[in-house]
Structure 1
Amino acid sequence: MNHALQIRSALVSEQLPAPAQAWLQALVAQQPPQQRTLPALVAAAKARLLSTDLTTPGLLDASLPPPVFPRELLSASAVSAREIRLSHDVVAQVVDLENLSQSRWQQVQALEAIERGEQKRGREIIRVPAAGDAEQDDGGDETDAGDRNGRPAAQAASTGTATGTSDANATHRLVLQDAAGQTLFALELTRIYRIGIGRLRMGEKVLLKKGIVAARGTLLLEPASVKFLGGQVESLHKTWVEGRLARLRSEATAAGSG
């Protein structure tokens, strides 16, 4: 078995989508000869895959069934259906995130703190990893019970956003995008501490497990139904922070003057 096939097999075993053969061969060719051991190549491929937009042409193996949202979830009738269950696993990426429990100004403050590389824990300002450090955290589901920094759920629950408020009872709405560029809303049905402004980054890959329920066209997320694979797409994250800040400031100003 050649390196490309071995790497693909290793990635698929970790529930990542299968990259195209040409993409893998190009990645192998770019590595220095001394780093072409299988473990090193798998690590490099995983990091590159997690930091690449899923919709990039030629990224995924076209010979395999595309891991995309099923038609019944994307049809116009889905919004009137009480319950549709996902018929197969889908790897998607996060392209939007909103804390529905916060006011617009609170969301502005949280995003401004992220821009400065800061967050608050209680009254203590802490530094958070820079965007370029994302590859050091593979985002595995071992942190599902806590937060991105590995704190347990009980401690993560007491961790505030930039306003110092707890997100233990927050509800987040996400927009998830599949490899075909199709998007669906997702809503926390049960609080998942891995989801939060400053913890979840745009372009991060998530595995939506077969059987997850969609109600009225919206995926309902519970800890057992989703696995966080990690990564981020720097261009998506930067555009999202800047664009969301502008929208929130405009909306907050309009609401304040209304």
Structure 2
Amino acid sequence: MASPEQIAAQILNTKSLAVSQNWLNTFLTTSNSAQRNLPASALTKTALFRVLASDFRESLSRSPSSILSLQVLDIEDIGTSLWSQVEAIERVERGEAIRGREVVRTIPMGDDNEGADNGNGRTNNPATPNASGSSGYGPHRLILQDAAGTKTVAIEMKSIEGISLEKLSIGAKMVLQNATVARGMVLLNPGCVTLLGGKIDALDRPWKEDRKKRLLERISTLQGT
């Protein structure tokens, strides 16, 4: 069985995540016998999967580093009006989508049917906002948190593949290197961001369920009612 030190070194070398030895010891102790007997490479992959689904405040060490390991606490599309985002969510709730200037009904399709001809010369793959109620245009504003619990605001200065309301879950992990900080905000561009994926279910689910309510509350505040 791989030692905690071996697993930690492998995750640090491949993902730039400094995993806590205490967290790894607990992971190995609570793993079932089948997992503990996995080859070192497979056990390391399992540990990494658990890290990406964890709270960094529990799973990472707090040693200073030039590479920042962060998790997403909030994401906002600041390139789209609040009302437009609410309307997009409501269209999804009604099972509608926008195609050009036409509102059409959408039918949920499995992955196997994406792009398939529906018999009339059209494909079943329209550009449709999903349950997040966004087309992913951006730019985006994010609230990020490090292993010590420190929060920071980050702004997407150039479009980054993987940063959108559809693709980025709450609790998703990323590492930043040589990022620019201006007026207390981290300026994000593709050259300084590495997205690792993951999410924290206990944070992601309520964030999605309450998003429409939060948008409406902000609209009400701005209108002064």
Same-fold status (TM-score > 0.5): yes
Match for residue 195 of structure 2 among 209, 228, 232:
228
Alpha-carbon distance in structure 2 between the residues aligned to 1:23 and 1:102: 40
Q: 1:191 to 1:125 in 2, by over 3 A?
A: farther
Q: Which runs of 5+ in 1 are unaligned?
A: 68-87, 130-157
Q: 1:212 to 1:255 in 2, by over 3 A?
A: closer
- TM superposition shift of 1:125: 5.5
Task: Give the TM-score of the pair, scaled to structure 1.
Answer: 0.66
Q: 1:104 maps to what in 2?
A: 82
Q: 1:208 to 1:159 in 2, by over 3 A?
A: farther
Aligned pairs (5 A) from 1:80-95: 88-95=66-73
- TM superposition shift of 1:229: 1.0
Q: 2:32 maps to what in 1?
A: 32
Q: 1:60 to 1:101 in 2, by over 3 A?
A: closer
Q: Which amino acid aligns with 1:4?
A: P
Note if 1:9 corresponds to 2:41.
no
- TM superposition shift of 1:183: 1.0
8 Å contact kept, 2:156–2:187: yes
Q: Which amino acid aligns with 2:173?
A: K
Amino-acid identity (%): 31
Q: Which runs of 5+ in 2 are unaligned?
A: 112-125
Match for residue 173 of structure 1 among 141, 144, 150:
141
Match for residue 44 of structure 1 among 43, 46, 64:
46
Q: Which amino acid aligns with 2:129?
A: T
- TM superposition shift of 1:179: 0.9
- Higher RCO (CA 8 Å, separation ≥ 6 residues): 1
Q: 1:166 to 1:234 in 2, by over 3 A?
A: closer
Task: Give the TM-score of the pair, scaled to structure 2.
Answer: 0.75
Note if 1:183 corresponds to 2:154.
no
8 Å contact kept, 1:120–1:164: no
Alpha-carbon distance in structure 2 between the residues aligned to 1:127 and 1:230: 24
8 Å contact kept, 1:119–1:128: no
Q: 1:84 maps to what in 2?
A: none
- TM superposition shift of 1:167: 3.8
Q: Which amino acid aligns with 1:106?
A: S
Aligned length: 202
* Rg larger in structure: 2
- TM superposition shift of 1:245: 2.8
